[in-house]
Amino acid sequence: MKKVIGIESYGVSVEQANHNAEVNDIENVEFIKGLTEEILPTLEILYPDIVILDPPRKGCQPEVLETLANFKPEKIVYISCHPATLARDLKLLCEQGGYKLAWVQPADFFPQTPHVETAIILDRQE
């Protein structure tokens, strides 16, 4: 059976996610409260097919990117609210992690501001 693991630092979001899973009879999910850079490396023997990242403006911590390189998921979906940290993290994932940029879609959710959300998909290269 497939399983989804969510890591979130904000406790209320974890409570809401657990409640939504219960209300919708979804049993193959686990939500963990904590920092991704602390929790992700402790998830031993994890072979995810897809990883979805939505980091804060400061981007992913190096521990997260290193762990992902070890897990080697087939796809990484990265949602970013800061182009500079997205570029920094993509450089590491593509040059050192073995990924290739497959898709990019910017979205202007906040018109008349300089903020742009960007969703990207990376494919694992063998």
* pLDDT, tens digit, 9 for 90 and up, residues 19-65: 999 999 999 999 999 999 999 999 876 789 999 999 999 999 999 99
Beta carbons within 8 Å of 77's beta carbon, 6+ residues apart: 50, 51, 52, 53, 119, 120, 121, 122
Please tell me the CATH code under which domain 45-124 is placed: 3.40.50.150
Q: What confidence score (pLDDT) does residue 69 get?
A: 87
Q: Are 53 and 64 in contact (CB under 8 A)?
A: yes
* pLDDT, tens digit, 9 for 90 and up, residues 74-95: 999 999 999 999 999 999 999 9
Q: What angle do CA 107, 110, 113 make, to 5 degrees?
A: 110
81 is catalytic: yes
At 120, the pLDDT band (50, 70, 90 cuts) reads very high
CA–CA separation, 89 and 73 (whole Å):
16
Query: Of the residues 4, 32, 46, 81, which is catalytic?
Result: 81
Q: Are 48 and 76 in contact (CB under 8 A)?
A: no
Q: Are 78 and 86 in contact (CB under 8 A)?
A: yes
Structural domain spans, the chain = 1-34, 45-124
Whether pLDDT at 1 is above 80:
no
At 110, the pLDDT band (50, 70, 90 cuts) reads confident
CA–CA separation, 53 and 67 (whole Å):
13
A 10 A CB-CB count for 10 gives 9
* Structure-token pair, residue 29: 């999910």
